[in-house]
């Protein structure tokens, strides 16, 4: 069954100045039409679908076959339908079906969601899995969610950059003291990742880093000489 698409400009068309019954029959025809704009039904069948009387439906059908000088589309002198053997054909149906005022925005959103530098939709999950496996290996955890990794890949970030952040934050004294923050949500959150990617292990104080690593591996600090 084809989708029912109503021109968003219909409220500005001459059809919208017709009686409520005529407008209802018109919307019913659009809903009944197949992908070619064909309505294979009799007037009585259309009346049943529109929940209108046969007389009211016939009036509307006759009106739709007549010229409309106020119509914005004068390709058929404003006529909206024509009689065919199987029923009725909505004129200019394909023209309006193909008109999509939001197509550009939707396509852009879709492409942005799939955009990965050198990565296709099929392989981006493989790359995300690589990052997550590396994090689990380094932390001894079993994280499974990709939701914070995929957006970074789609922004053009690389697997190597993500692994670099993991390695860097493993040497961060604060993360050593608070290993629970070594998780995908914290590491790959947009604001955090942009900051972490520019950090280097040597940026951390050497003493703090060493003490932190010692604590992480339960290595007691050297005894002070008496």
Domain extents in the chain: 10-98, 105-216
Mean pLDDT across the stretch 185-214? 76
pLDDT of residue 142: 92
Query: What is the C-alpha end-to-end distance of the chain, expressed in Å?
Result: 87
Answer yes or no: is pLDDT of 217 > 50: no
pLDDT digits (tens, 9 = 90+) for 139-173: 999 999 888 999 998 888 899 999 999 999 999 99
Question: In this structure, what are the phi and psi dihedrals at residue 55, rounded to the nearest 5 degrees?
Answer: -65, -45
According to CATH, what is the number of the domain 10-98?
Answer: 1.10.10
How far apart (Å, rounded) are the C-alpha atoms in residues 131 and 129? 5
How far apart (Å, rounded) are the C-alpha atoms in residues 15 and 152? 49
pLDDT digits (tens, 9 = 90+) for 101-147: 555 555 555 555 555 444 556 678 889 999 999 999 999 999 998 88
Kindly state the DSSP code that residue 225 receives in the 8-state scheme. Answer: P
Of 58, 62, 68, which is closest to residue 92 (Cα–Cα)?
Answer: 68
Question: Which ranges constitute the DSSP H helices of the chain?
Answer: 20-32, 43-50, 54-64, 93-98, 103-114, 121-139, 150-154, 159-170, 173-177, 184-188, 190-196, 206-216
**Reported confidence tier of residue 82, pLDDT bands at 50, 70, 90:** very high
Answer yes or no: is pLDDT of 49 > 50: yes
Flag whether the pTM goes above 0.75.
no
Answer yes or no: is pLDDT of 195 > 70: yes
């Amino acid at each position: 069954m084809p989708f029912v698409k109503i021109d968003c400009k219909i409220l500005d068309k001459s059809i919208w100045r017709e009686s409520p019954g005529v407008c209802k029959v018109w919307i019913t025809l659009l809903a009944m039409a197949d992908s070619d704009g064909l309505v294979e039904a009799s007037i009585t069948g259309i009346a049943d679908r529109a929940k209108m009387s046969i007389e009211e439906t016939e009036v509307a059908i006759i009106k739709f076959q007549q010229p409309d000088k106020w119509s914005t589309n004068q390709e058929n002198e404003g006529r909206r339908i024509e009689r065919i053997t199987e029923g009725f054909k909505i004129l200019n149906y394909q023209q309006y079906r193909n008109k999509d005022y939001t197509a550009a925005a939707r396509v852009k959103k879709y492409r942005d969601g799939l955009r990965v530098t050198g990565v296709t939709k099929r392989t981006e999950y493989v790359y995300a899995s690589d990052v997550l496996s590396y994090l689990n290996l380094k932390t001894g955890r079993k994280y499974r969610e990709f939701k914070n990794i995929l957006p970074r890949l789609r922004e053009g970030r690389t697997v190597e950059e993500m692994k670099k952040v993991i390695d860097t934050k493993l040497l961060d004294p604060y993360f050593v003291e608070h290993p629970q923050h070594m998780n995908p949500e914290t590491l790959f959150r947009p604001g955090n990742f942009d900051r972490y990617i520019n950090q280097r292990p040597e940026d951390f104080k050497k003493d703090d880093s060493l003490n932190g690593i010692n604590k992480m591996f339960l290595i007691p600090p050297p005894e002070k000489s008496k």
